[in-house]
Structure 1
Amino acid sequence: MLTLGSVTYAGTTYTNVTVRIDAYVLLGATPPGSGGTDPTCGLSNFQSALLARINAERAAGATCGSSFNGPAPALQWNTALTNAASVHTQDMVNNNFFSHTGSDGSNAGQRITRQGYQWSTWAENIAAGQPSVNAVMDAWMNSAGHCENIMNPYVQDVGVACIAGPAGGYSPYWTMNLASH
């Protein structure tokens, strides 16, 4: 849990807001070394495939752990969130680690703010080892915390990056940022 100073949502300012950073999805280990820099892992229709799958899950509603999260509004793809996801994903590849905390000590909210997105709420999902959009979405939807982030009715925007790591390791690394203004 991370406690923030204050957050304004729907015209109301809340103090001492706590943000939950959810579990990790990890399949493998990576030796040190540099990976790729393509934030789509070279996957065709990366953005459209992700957005279609995310919004299909939100439209249908989903059981996250033991609770059903009803249908939620469709998300919009956001470049600033994608850039923040790409920066964090590349950091994990370059520095051979897997964490919500960046090598500089930053959290997703700080990375999102650095990209110019003024958020009222945010969430982050990370994963490693899944070779496709469907594989990573299946992993996230089968993890209660990640599923709850995706199904959160209060987020409006999403950005995702996928970057290949060194051969034989976590590759590829994934970061999904969800947020609203």
Structure 2
Amino acid sequence: IFSIVVFGSIVNEGYVNRPDESEEHCIFNRNRNACNYGITVGVLAFLSCLLYLALDAYFPQISSVKDRKKAVLSDIGVSAFWAFLSFVGFCFLTNQWQASKEEDNPMNEGADAARAAITFSFFSIFTWAGQAFLAYQRFRLGADSALFSQDYMDPSQDSGMPYAPYTNEEDATDAVGTYQQPPPADAYDTETQGYQTQNY
């Protein structure tokens, strides 16, 4: 959303002209590079967001552990990269806006759009940095557990309990004493006394 505001503001109201000129100039100190930078970074950041949104939806279906690690590491790198580009964009647009001359825009057209682009460039720094931090936490969680394993299942969530519950030796002796007494040693002898074999 922030990237849409940045490039949308510049595209819609980022170019103005003086009454005596027919050619439009960038509202940021008549520096076309400033407008081009804001539009380019905004559009590419928006496309990156869509790409990683699709990757997050597809992530549970990735069976390879290496591919899962690569996906999370790329999320960290791309988010950190866009946080840096947002910081550069904020500084660049702010500097060029302050250097703008009043005579270049006597009607003060597009001032709100310029301020919106600068403001949301600033907000983008923290959102991308926060995204990089969350991706790093996800990577740490996956390294410390079995997040990157397709076959991992939390035993506490499985109602079938495929593993026997843990009991120590004291619990085992108590369980034998509580539920069933072992049969006496001569029980088998008394049963076999009544059985006789016959020879034919």
Q: TM range, normalised to the smaller chain?
A: under 0.3
Compute the TM-score of the two structures, normalised by the length of structure 1.
0.22
